[in-house]
Structure 1
Amino acid sequence: MTLLNHRTEGPASAPPLLLGPSLGTSYALWDKVAPELSITHRVVRWDLPGHGGSAAGLIEAGATVGDLADLVLALADSLGVERFAYAGVSLGGAVGLHLAVHRPERLSSLAVICSSAHFNGAKPWEERAALVRREGLAGLAEGADARWFTPGFTVPELVRDHRDADPDAYAACCDALAAFDLRDRLSEIAVPTLLVAGREDPATPPAHLREIADAVPDSTLVELPGASHLAPAQCPEAVLTALRAHFGGPAGRGMEVRREVLGDTHVDRAQSKQTPFTARFQDFISRYAWGEIWTDPTLSRRERSMITLTALVAHGHYDELAMHVRATRRGGLTPEEIGAVLLQTAVYCGVPAANSAFATAQRVLAEEDGTAG
């Protein structure tokens, strides 16, 4: 059987996550998001029939979203993937909704991005399908930027994908959108569901995502300021943050551990100071330091705290040392134990470093509970 063209990234043993594209694009839509997701998931992104590298013959006139969903399941089966998380944009999101209603046993969680439970009725899509079958895609591709992005923004590779798509396959995808309407089945969706809307999206405005969120039990809606229809390409960091929080992994667990060790006050203060410039660094800290290192059960948190104190003394990071002295007190270390760790550093890191460390720790302990050690 001919399969959808796809790209697989990430560890084979990681939880599988399938990513679906929008009409007129290829899996390049996920270029700025998939590599980061593949740190914690086995990411499989696929091309629609006649788009990217997928064969046009995989779809015929009169196709349905259910037909596309069957192709996705065939791809998953070929990869040995029984149950998977799924995220899709526009038509790709519709495929996810179909799977959640008709094949819920295959989904562990769902994210629907800039999509809808219906696409404004059949007529516009029937007209577009007829136009493409008659004239091809060149003229339609010229207006892609206006439909996909806010003014002044473009992704040339995606516009080229639109122009190069097979017209008959594209028109068949339009047929699928024309026939799609799951509004009366949304309440049946039981998998954890995230809805992501672009506030500047003219194709599937936020109201479409709110409609789904209102109907799907316990779903979550996120609206992205400044994002239009292809949010993963235009606002990848915001989409990545939403998907990480929804699908779990080190980022979500990392923030939890960070709060447990450092305390809500410190973390809230750090988060309040976050800017677009520092957002990626804060995410890095949550994912790697707190989400992967501090959650490793090989060492206890007490042991990690002691190692951290030593490393900070060795490099002279006394502001960070003060923060972690507070953290070790929260974690149960006594002033005597903290003093013993710092005394150890005098031997291996040098007396001057230990002297400064003792002064920092004494100040923090006095501030915390009046104990000077």
Structure 2
Amino acid sequence: MTPILPAYDVTGPDDAPVVVLLGSLGSTRDMWGPQVAALSAWARVVTVDHRGHGGSPVPDGPYTVGDLAGDVLAVLDELGVDSAHLVGLSLGGAVSQHLAITRPERVRSLTLLCTAAKFGEAASWTERAAAVRADGTESIADAVVGRWFTAGLAARDTDLITRHLAMVTGTPDEGYAACCEALALWDSRADLGRIVAPTLVIAGEQDPSTPPSVMAELADGIQGARMVALDPAAHLANVEQAGRVCALLRAHINVPDGYLPGREAAHAAGDAMRRSVLGDAHVDRSTATITEFTAPFQDFITRTAWGDIWCRPGLDQEQRRLLTIAILTAVGNEHELDMHLRSALRAGVSADTIAEVLLHTAVYAGVPNSNRAFALGRAALADLETD
């Protein structure tokens, strides 16, 4: 099949390393939101919708993984990129493997998340393709998203589940079915030894689709590959363990410590990170009140706090959230503390973990401050339960 130019986004400085993010069957490039926010501080991040997904064209199927790989090359050619760091999850991992095997000169490094050299038996994929063509993607959405996240995260963050259900049901039926047929034919086991790009393999301990035992086949078959299993994490480990994944990517791609792009790019990266941590609604409310007087301060906070400190690889996002809560409790900053408590709970940080932080803070920063923090946390939990 002739390559198409799929829908894609580019974020980050033009002169930075190029990182291409390729997602799962039934997803759009929006699934990479946490990585775009963090990586665009030091990389030119390219997110791509597979053909038949998101904003990309939907040619009639069946497709092959080679067809999808050709589409990625079309994006790189349009951007004038000779080679890139490929990051692929599930179906995107198969596409990334294909490129590393057949076009090694275009692949600087390879990161494979929750994917496989062979995805089970072909019949299961052709049956799913037939079911989707008959009944639509809505008929399989609950089962798909049920494999994407652990039960604990799904229970804590119903908004996350709702967004990803919409992502699956919004996928065109023919695009989803045709990509199922691509996975039915995919088998790279005999060719893994041909991959020469430095390779990182990331598995989710609770992933029912491509568990660590399946991922180990990739790590064992690719010379010099390193494997990491994240816990807890199901199939969309990049979402459930966003901070860990971003830190692993930066280390694997070997970005020098302290690298930060120019002022505008730092501001853009900071805005993306701030939205990832606090949510679009909060940031939109804050930016709507900016005046000529307050604009320099807002730019400073966005570039330095969010674009620099929060984007650094030394701590993952949950660790930074908990550290921020502890410090705000210690200094008695109730306004900022309430905001960070609520955003942490919405992001899936457990109430038990936050309680431990507040207990620990009581010993070193004083009981009254922690007592107030517990009250704010109790109110936040009550509000979340009634949302």
TM-score (norm 2): 0.64
Match of 2:171 among 147, 159, 165: 165
The match for 1:232 is: 238
Distance 1:280 1:115 in 2: 31
Structure with greater contact order relative to length (CA < 8 Å, sep ≥ 6): 2
Is the 8 Å Cα contact of residues 25 and 159 (structure 1) preserved in structure 2? no
The match for 2:288 is: none
Root mean square deviation of aligned Cα: 2.5
Matched, 1:10 2:12: yes
Matched, 1:77 2:77: yes
Alpha carbons of structure 1 residues 67 and 274: separation in structure 2 relative to 1, 3 Å: closer
Distance 2:315 2:44 in 1: 33
Q: Deviations over 1:251-275 (max 9, x none)?
A: 4999xxxxxxxxxxxxxxxxx9999
1:139 counterpart letter in structure 2: S
The match for 1:184 is: 190
Q: Which has the larger radius of gyration?
A: 1
Q: Deviations over 1:282-319 (max 9, x none)?
A: 9xxxxxxxxxxxxxxxxxxxxxxxxxxxxxxxxxxxxx
Distance 2:100 2:86 in 1: 10
The match for 2:117 is: 117
The match for 2:221 is: 215
1:159 deviates by 1.6
1:195 deviates by 0.2
Distance 1:280 1:16 in 2: 31
1:277 counterpart letter in structure 2: Q
2:216 counterpart letter in structure 1: R
In structure 1, the residue corresponding to 2:214 is in which secondary structure? helix
Alpha carbons of structure 1 residues 193 and 236: separation in structure 2 relative to 1, 3 Å: same
1:8 counterpart letter in structure 2: V
Matched, 1:277 2:319: yes
Identity of aligned residues (%): 40
1:19 deviates by 0.4
Distance 1:125 1:252 in 2: 45
Alpha carbons of structure 1 residues 35 and 123: separation in structure 2 relative to 1, 3 Å: same
Structure 2, unaligned runs of 5 or more? 155-159, 261-313, 325-387
1:213 counterpart letter in structure 2: A
Pairs within 5 Å for 1:226-305: 226-251=232-257, 276-278=318-320
In structure 1, the residue corresponding to 2:34 is in which secondary structure? coil
Distance 1:244 1:178 in 2: 32
Q: Deviations over 1:216-266 (max 9, x none)?
A: 111110100110000111110111111111011134999xxxxxxxxxxxx
Q: Deviations over 1:104-129 (max 9, x none)?
A: 01000000000001100201101000
1:73 counterpart letter in structure 2: L
Match of 1:29 among 31, 53, 61: 31
In structure 2, the residue corresponding to 1:117 is in which secondary structure? coil
1:279 deviates by 8.3
